[in-house]
Structure formats: C-alpha cells, structure tokens
Chain A
Amino acid sequence: MNSTRKDELRGFMTELLRKVGDHVPPSDSDSLFVSGRLDSLAMMTLVVHLENAFGIDFADGGFEMDLLDTLDDIETLIDEKLSA
C-alpha cells in the first residue's frame, strides 16, 4: 500500500469534509458517503480528482458508488484500476 498516496487522499477527503463543516479527519475505514458525511456531489468531485490525478477513466467499466465509501475502498479501487 502506498502511504504517500493514502496521505494525499486523506488530505483531499479532509478538505471535502471541511467544506461541509465537518472538521474530523477520516480514518481509513470511516464511512464517508453511506454515512451521509459527504453527498453525491462530493463523490463526483472525488471522481474528477481521481481522473486527473491517476488518469482513471470510470466510463470504461462499471462504477459503483458504494465502492468509494472509505479511504481503504478508494485505495483498493485505484489499485484495481491502475493494474487493469
């Protein structure tokens, strides 16, 4: 697991949370979207970030919102997309 990438992701998600007035940094397994902390617009902001930062094209295959719920989930998804 790439800790720098995880830290960068954590920083990005913390900033998204801060924008909606939530100042608690997320742990690796904290639910971010299912819990209601972030909404679908924030999800799409994350998608754009992943597209730009990692060159991932989500239009290529299936996209399930539930698979981006935690930092661990996002990390796993990036690994899967990059190795595909």
Chain B
Amino acid sequence: MTTGAWDDSRLSGTSGGRGARAAGWNVRNLWALEDNARVVAWVATRIGRTALVALFALVLVAANRGYRAEPEWPVFLVACAAACAYAPRYRPVTIFVATMAALLKQVWFPHAGLIEIIRQEGVEFLSPTGFVHGALAAFFVASWAVLGYARRNKASFVARRPVLALLAAEALLCGLALVPYVHGVARVTVWAFLTVFSAYIWFLAYALVDQRSKDPAPRLFQLGIFHPFWGSSSTPLGKGAAFLRRVQSKTPEELSVTQIKALKLLIWSLVLTALSRALAWLVEGRLQVPRLDSVQAAFFRGEPYPIALGWASLITATALGTLWLAVWGHQIVAVARLSGFRLPRNTWRPLESRTLADLWNRYYYYYKELLVEFFFVPTFLRTLKKHPRLRTFFATFMAAGVGNAVFHFVRDIDVVATRGLWGALESYTSYVFYCVMLATGIGISQLRTNAGRQAPASPLGKLRAFLCVWSFVVCLHVFANETRDYSLVQRLSFMANLFGVY
C-alpha cells in the first residue's frame, strides 16, 4: 500500500498525498477536488464559500426529504455550521447557542420512562416536557459546577476517575428513583434528572477528562458540544473538546479542504441512501423477503418461514442496518466538517474489514473510541501488566463486553421505569450475551493480529476473510437487536432454527 492508505483515511486533511494522485487522470482524480489547489483557493473566496454552503444546503435538504417533516431544519444546521466556520473567534458561543436552540426545538433523547412514571404516580396533570426542560437546565448548571470543581481539584476522585464517578452517580440516582419512599412530584423530578443524566453521561465524561489537561477548553465550549447541533446519539460524534480543538481547521486552506470533504461525504450519504432504498425495494418489494421482525414473530407463533427465507431476511436486516448507520454518521460528520472540524468518518469501508477487530474499528468509530477511552485504556493501563496477551484480551473484554453492556443499559434507562429493575435486567440477557460473544470474538481477533498474523492479501484470502467476518456479524445480529421483545432462549432457538437444528 502506498500513500493511498493515508488519502483514503477517515480524516479530511490538507496533505493527503497529492503526489500519488497526480499520476494518472481518472474519475478518482477528478473527484479528489480537495487536492486541486485552484478549487481549494476558489472555495476560500467569498463567492466560493457562498456556492459551497448553498450546494451543501441543497444536498442536505434532499438527503432529509422523507425523514424530517420540517424543511427548515437542514437550513438551520447549515446556517449554524457556516457561522461556526467563518467566525472562528465566536465559535464557542455559536456552538453553544446553536446546540441550545436545537435542543429547545426538539429534545433528542427518549423519555417514555418519565411519561410512564408520571402515569404510575397519578400526576398526569404534570407536563413531561416541562420536567425534561427543567431537568436539562439543572443538569447544565450542575455540569458547569462539576467541571469547574474538577478543573480546580485535579486530584479529586471525579477528576481522576470520571467514568467511575459518573456511573456511581447514575446508580445512586437510579436507586433513589426506585426506593419506595419517594413518591409523587419528588419521584417524577428524580426520574426527569435521571433521564437527562443518562442521555448526557458520556458527553460529561469527555468534558471531565478534558479538565485534567493543562489548557482545558472553555466551559461554554464544553457544554456546547453536549450533543452538539450537528447531531449525535448518546455517543458523542466528535468525542470531546480536546479532540475537537485538535481537529478544527486552523487556516483558510484547511477549512476549504475540510468543507469540500464535507460536501463529498454528504453526497456519498445520498448515494448510500439510494442504495439502501434500492436494496429494500429489490429484496423486500420484488423478492418478497419478509422483514426480520416478521420472520421472528412467525417463528414464535409456531409458523416459521422456510430457513432460506430466514437467512435472506437476516442478511438483509444486517445490510440495511449497516447502510443506515453509515448514512446517519456521514450526515452528522458532514455538518461537523462544514463547521470547520476535520472529523474522521464514523463508518469507514466496513466491507473491507479483514478481521473482526478491524471491523470494530470501521463500523461505528466514535462508539468504539468511547469504549476504548473509558473502558479499554484504563483497564489496560492498570491490570495484568505481567501477562501481555491476557492484558489485551481482558481490556478488550472490558470494553466490547462490559462497557458495551453498561453503555446500553444506561442509554435505555427508560426500560427500568416501564419494566422495573428486575424486568429490565431480565430482558437484557440477550444483549449481554451479544456483548460477551462480540468481546470474545474481537479479543481473539486482536490476539491473532498481535501475534503477527497478517491480513490476507490475495483475492481469495480477502473473500474468505470477508465471509468469516460478516458471517459472524450476521449471526450476532439476531442478538444485537436491541428490542426487549424476545428472551435469550427464544433468540437462541431462532438461531438454531436457522441452522436447521430446532
């Protein structure tokens, strides 16, 4: 591999191997607009900026058609991104205001649990939205105070072990919400705060980690990137302030290159959307392959579909899920890039993965990064130093297994409200099984890589590696489905049926 590995990396940069691309004149070279000095210079002009931003807005409107009812939403995003990019001096304020505006327009996290608690407590006259907004205000004020405390007291527990401290606070809040002595408005209030805290816990974790650095970002910026206006899930896409400051464009040339890459990524997301729709139309429409939830429901009714149809449905669900994740991530990263942040892609050529560990790196980058930073690294640095192989495996298990399970349990804290603590834990066994299998698979894959096992280079070897990796992923998809509808035993029996043994 030559400089191509760098050119095609997740990151948009300014020095992406122009020499390598200079040779030859093909479509790929034509598409590499960010390597064309004249184009880059033109995009930095006033007319160029206007044209690029307008084109980006048009593509984003097209990309959102059919998904969002409000056509003004993409325009709002682009306006915020442009303000952020072209007025870097006011970037922290711009991001904070844009993020708060986006939050007021639409609360991004689910709060069905809070609504259920309001019903359980018989206080339906209370507005869940009002409680969420109140809890949000309290959370942001508390975060401001905690960040200040951690900055001043770098030796404190919350500054040294932020994830442990936050998970302890989560457990405490959950316990408080469940004790039988708390009722009525008090219980609703605790649940509202727990809901907000669970949604933002990893954003706060990144911000707390940043407080240890010599020159932490201003708190306004830290809070502004708590689920920033460009989007995220419970996983911060763009990580924390330290990372964002590192990847923000520092020169007009860097900004132009980053924004050109933003536009290209957005266009690519449109292509993937079209591909996704074509696949759904072909498989589900023309070939009449039922959806996975229908196949599972039929199996549990005792009227299973033929095995081949079951596999076709499972493979299609995995493919569509992967495409959806890529499109979603690309659109968010594209808006962040338009804002001037050279963010790596969230999903990057997952079909080229030759090992499971490689796929883990390519499939959902920012989630993997979160688990690595908050679970893998602390475990790796502190345990089993005299046993290198076990050290890597155990740290991987703590990230892809334990961290993965903890993350999703916290994210879905609503389930505790609707099913109770025991019900939530019981319905979680299938996902825990998924985490254990995934962590074991990745751990073994990493040990093999560490032992010097080379990724296959021949076409046949690549095909075999592709089939191995994706067969594993397809099989795990049965358990990765995050709905709590079926138990582990039911899913195992469904899996056995697909292999014709049940």
Contacts and interface: CB of A to CB of B under 8 A. Distances in A.
Nearest to A67: B213
Interface stretch (B6-14, B301-309, B316-324, B429-437): B6-14
Interface in A21-50: 21-24, 31, 34-37, 39-41, 44-45, 47-48
A44 B380 contact: yes
Nearest to A27: B15
Given A21-B455, A65-B377, A35 B3 contact: no
Contacts of A66: 242-243, 246
Interface in B359-383: 361, 368-369, 372-373, 376-378, 380-382
Given A21-B1, A62-B160, A37 B380 contact: no
**Most A-side CB within 10 Å, residue of B6, B344, B361:** B6
Contacts of B160: 62
A58 interface: yes
Interface string A53-67: 000001100111110
B184 interface: no
The DSSP consensus for interface residues of chain A is loop
B247 A34 contact: yes
Contacts of A31: 11, 13
A31 B342 CA distance: 12
Contact of A35 (B6, B209, B242): B6
Contacts of B358: 39
A72 interface: no
Contact of B357 (A36, A41, A59, A64): A41
Contact of A41 (B344, B348, B446): B446
Contact of B395 (A37, A44, A59): A44
Interface residues of A, number: 27
The DSSP consensus for interface residues of chain B is helix
A64 B344 contact: no
A69 interface: yes
Given A21-B1, A23-B2, A34 B376 contact: no
B392 interface: yes
Contact of A21 (B5, B361, B382, B450): B5
- The interface size bin for chain B is 35 or more
A36 B212 contact: no
Contacts of A58: 381
Contacts of B233: none
A37 B348 CA distance: 12
Given A36-B348, A63-B381, A44 B392 contact: yes
Given A35-B344, A62-B212, A64-B212, A40 B11 contact: no
**Most A-side CB within 10 Å, residue of B13, B243, B369, B377:** B377
Nearest to B160: A62
Given A21-B5, A69-B246, A36 B381 contact: no
Nearest to B154: A62
B288 interface: no
B40 to A, nearest CB: 19
B144 to A, nearest CB: 21
Given A41-B357, A44-B395, A66-B246, A34 B11 contact: yes
Contacts of B5: 20-22, 24, 37
A46 B372 CA distance: 15
A35 B13 contact: yes
B449 interface: yes
A74 B463 CA distance: 37
A66 B213 CA distance: 11
B182 to A, nearest CB: 36
A54 to B, nearest CB: 15
Contacts of A64: 209, 212-213, 242
Contacts of B423: none
Report, nearest first, the 6 A-B pairs whose CB atoms are least far apart: A36-B10, A62-B212, A36-B9, A21-B1, A40-B372, A35-B11
Interface of A: 19-24, 31, 34-37, 39-41, 44-45, 47-48, 51, 58-59, 62-66, 69
Given A21-B5, A64-B242, 18 more contacts: A22-B5, A23-B1, A35-B9, A35-B11, A35-B344, A36-B10, A36-B11, A39-B357, A39-B358, A40-B377, A44-B376, A44-B380, A47-B381, A62-B160, A63-B377, A63-B378, A66-B242, A69-B246
28 contacts: A21-B1, A22-B6, A23-B1, A24-B5, A31-B11, A34-B11, A34-B247, A35-B6, A35-B10, A36-B9, A37-B5, A37-B9, A39-B361, A40-B372, A40-B376, A41-B446, A44-B376, A44-B392, A47-B380, A58-B381, A59-B381, A59-B382, A62-B209, A63-B377, A63-B381, A64-B242, A65-B373, A66-B242
